[in-house]
Amino acid sequence: MTRLIIRRLGSAVLTIILASLLVFLAIQALPGDVAQQILGRGATQESIDQMRSELGLDTPVVIRYIQWLFGAVQGDFGTSLVSGDPVGPTLLLHFRNTLLIAIPTVLISVTLSILLGVFAGLRRNKWQDNSISLLSLVAMSIPEFMMGALLVLAFAIGIPLFPAVVLDGPNATVAELLPSIWLPVIVLSLAMAAYVIRMTRTSTIDVMTSDFITTAQLKGLRESRVVLRHALPTALLPTLNVVAINIAWMLGGVVVVENIFNYPGMGNLMLEAVFNRDLPIIEAVAVVSATVYVACNLLADLTAMLLDPRQRLAKGSSHKAKAKAAGSQAAAAGEGIQL
């Protein structure tokens, strides 16, 4: 377990570095100039060159990336090229706003989708299963921007229960943002639950037809005990990766949904930074998104190992087999030297 975690952490660090490097190079390839955008079209070439020197844009790309990387390791993401404010507090504020819609979405969608997926799997080919499968397919088929527009028409214009868009800026307090989070939460919950329901249903059907479930049923165990104690932990294993990817997708910033509702989260911050070619903010958002993806995948793998002891035994037996093979090779080599 410890060796697995160390290997995954090493690959995680490499993944984050490569992601930041690719984003850095991609931004450099975009047309336009930050100094030109800041000064406007009427700026002279001399003032543009001076602005580029003040922003540090006249140094080579490799040097700029290495300087940024060393600062990011120390927690310093630099300053915004547009506003001149430190990137760290701005990033933290938008990440907090994204958490406000991510946490309710995860709690609602994961709980309901697992319950509905298991229920549909246990009622295979019955009207309950067909209804849940049809609704999940419809939710998967509707684009997020269309679903958001329909919810605005229904619950912001037709029945004015929630505000259509967020009028407060990123500096708004949690209490000011709470009335505006529910429409984005509904959109994200429907989009996330659809995939989790279908994965959980398929996994439940596969597990309920396996030999160890048949053996447990033949022993006379109660149906609830068979499902909760034996089937559910195994059925959740394939679902964990789907849940982890969706959580990372939300925490990294849901660009479409936040743009629809003008929500001041990570996705909105990324859009503004790309439009303004604000490289420090783009790099910071990319690193945070990559870190969240890696952390969610690692957590899903560890949870799967806790739910399924066979994975831990497989890891341990593979290490023992490798050690035994290495010992046999060393013994054979020693015999050859003696001969």
Same domain, 107 and 233: yes
**Are 186 and 58 within one domain?**
no
**What is each CA distance from 127 to 130, 134, 135, 227, 241, in whole angstroms?**
5, 10, 12, 20, 28
**Residues 54 and 160 grouped into a single domain:** no
Is 80 a domain residue? no
Residue 56 and residue 95 in one domain = no
- Are 290 and 20 in contact by the 8 Å Cβ rule? The answer is yes
Same domain, 152 and 55: no
Assigned domain for 325 exists: no
Q: Which of 38, 73, 108 is the last residue of a domain?
A: 73
Domain range for 244 is 87-307
Structural domain count of the chain: 2
- Of 73, 101, 119, which closes a domain? 73
Helix (H, G, I), strand (E, B) or coil at 289: helix
Start-end of H helices in 123-254: 127-141, 144-152, 174-177, 182-208, 211-218, 223-225, 232-235, 237-251
Domain-embedded: residue 337? no
Secondary structure class of 79 (helix, strand, coil): strand
Q: 58 with 146, same domain?
A: no
3-state secondary structure of 86: strand
Ordered per-residue pLDDT tens for the chain, 339 residues: 677 777 777 887 888 888 888 877 877 776 666 676 666 666 777 777 777 777 677 777 788 888 878 888 877 887 887 777 888 888 888 888 888 888 999 898 888 988 998 888 888 888 988 999 898 888 888 888 888 888 888 888 888 888 888 877 777 888 888 888 889 999 988 888 888 898 888 888 888 888 888 787 778 778 778 777 777 777 888 888 888 888 888 877 688 888 888 888 888 888 888 887 777 888 888 888 888 888 888 788 777 777 666 655 555 444 444 444 434 433 333 433 333
Same domain, 156 and 291: yes
Provide the H-helix boundaries in the chain: 2-29, 34-39, 45-55, 61-73, 87-122, 127-141, 144-152, 174-177, 182-208, 211-218, 223-225, 232-235, 237-251, 255-260, 266-276, 279-307, 309-338
79 domain residue, yes or no? no
Domain presence at residue 245: yes
Instruction: Identify whether residues 134 and 234 lie together within a single domain.
Output: yes
| Tokens representing residue 126 in the block | 């019955």
Residues 55 and 102 in one domain: no
CATH number of the CATH domain containing 232: 1.10.3720.10
Same domain for 63 and 107? no
Whether the pTM exceeds 0.85: the reply is no
pLDDT tens-digit map of 54-81: 767 777 778 888 887 888 887 788 788 7
